[in-house]
């Protein structure tokens, strides 16, 4: 098992930050062993975030069941956790992105989520005696390590394939364009220092980029008129009878 630090994980994920549906992201799972000195503070921040989530009413689900959504929320919270470095996948609403995308761009993965989440929770119950959502952060990490390495049983095919799928989608939901339901409040882009999409860069902007002090503009690609017009034109070409819908 090869671990990478959270910082390296975020650097890798930043490469796909502006993509609508990124290509495959880095595989290794960031576990608690990377930064043991930060563990107490990280867990405290996580508990605060989870408490806030628990107090807020659940938004309507589009594709996942309530039980599946709880599992996905718990999984993404461990893949990119809230810690001393800042917010994680929970605050970015990566789970909401996944739920929404399973009815669209990720529709082909819907059945994989159904079987994979059921297998993960069953493995958690058989090996740790509790549902995954009721385990401590340490035990959740341990379960995910088993899933990542292919040691977890009960999956259709290798559990590692399911892990990689969810990790990739978590990256998309944390660092992709907010238009698609994740990266809430530009959390992911701010986390990695991505300044946002720009259709034109001035000489002054270029100098700021080189100094890495270009301020974030907090704009989705769909905030630009040229982009939205091109998107509308493409849609009308594909479905002329739905223009204006």
pLDDT digits 0-9 by tens, 191-228: 887 777 666 666 776 666 655 666 677 777 776 666 66
What pLDDT, on a 0 to 100 scale, did the predictor assign at position 124? 97
Its sign, for the CA torsion 31, 32, 33, 36, is positive
State yes or no: pLDDT of 102 exceeds 90. Answer: yes
Alpha carbon distance 72, 87 (integer Å): 17
How confident is the prediction for the chain on average, in pLDDT? 75
Polymer length in residues for the chain: 245
Query: Which tokens go with 216?
Result: 């974030």
What pLDDT, on a 0 to 100 scale, did the predictor assign at position 227? 62
- List the one residue out of 116, 76, 117 whose CA is nearest residue 93: 76
- List the one residue out of 20, 185, 28 whose CA is nearest residue 106: 20
Beta-bridged to residue 86, according to DSSP, are 83
State yes or no: pLDDT of 29 exceeds 60. Answer: no
The answer to whether 133 and 72 are in contact (CB under 8 A) is: no
Beta-strand runs (E) in the chain: none
pTM listed for this prediction: 0.69
What pLDDT, on a 0 to 100 scale, did the predictor assign at position 201? 64
């Amino acid at each position: 098992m090869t671990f990478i630090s959270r910082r390296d994980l975020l650097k890798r994920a930043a490469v796909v930050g502006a993509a609508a549906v990124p290509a495959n992201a880095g595989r290794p799972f960031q576990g608690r062993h990377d930064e043991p000195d930060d563990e107490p503070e990280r867990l405290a921040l996580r508990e605060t975030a989870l408490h806030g989530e628990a107090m807020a009413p659940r938004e309507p689900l589009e594709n996942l069941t309530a039980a599946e959504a709880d599992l996905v929320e718990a999984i993404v919270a461990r893949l990119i956790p809230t810690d001393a470095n800042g917010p994680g996948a929970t605050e970015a609403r990566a789970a909401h992105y996944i739920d929404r995308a399973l009815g669209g761009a990720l529709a082909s993965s819907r059945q994989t989520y159904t079987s994979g989440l059921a297998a993960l929770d069953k493995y958690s119950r058989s090996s740790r005696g509790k549902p995954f959502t009721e385990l401590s952060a340490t035990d959740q990490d341990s379960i995910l390590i088993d899933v990542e390495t292919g040691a977890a049983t009960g999956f259709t095919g290798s559990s590692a394939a399911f892990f990689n799928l969810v990790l990739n989608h978590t990256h998309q939901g944390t660092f992709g364009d907010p238009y698609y339901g994740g990266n809430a409040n530009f959390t992911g882009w701010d986390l990695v220092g991505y300044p946002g999409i720009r259709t034109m860069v001035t000489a002054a902007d270029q100098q700021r980029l080189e100094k890495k002090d270009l301020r974030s503009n907090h704009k989705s690609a769909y905030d630009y008129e040229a982009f939205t017009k091109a998107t509308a034109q493409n849609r009308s070409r594909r479905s002329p009878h739905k223009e204006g819908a």
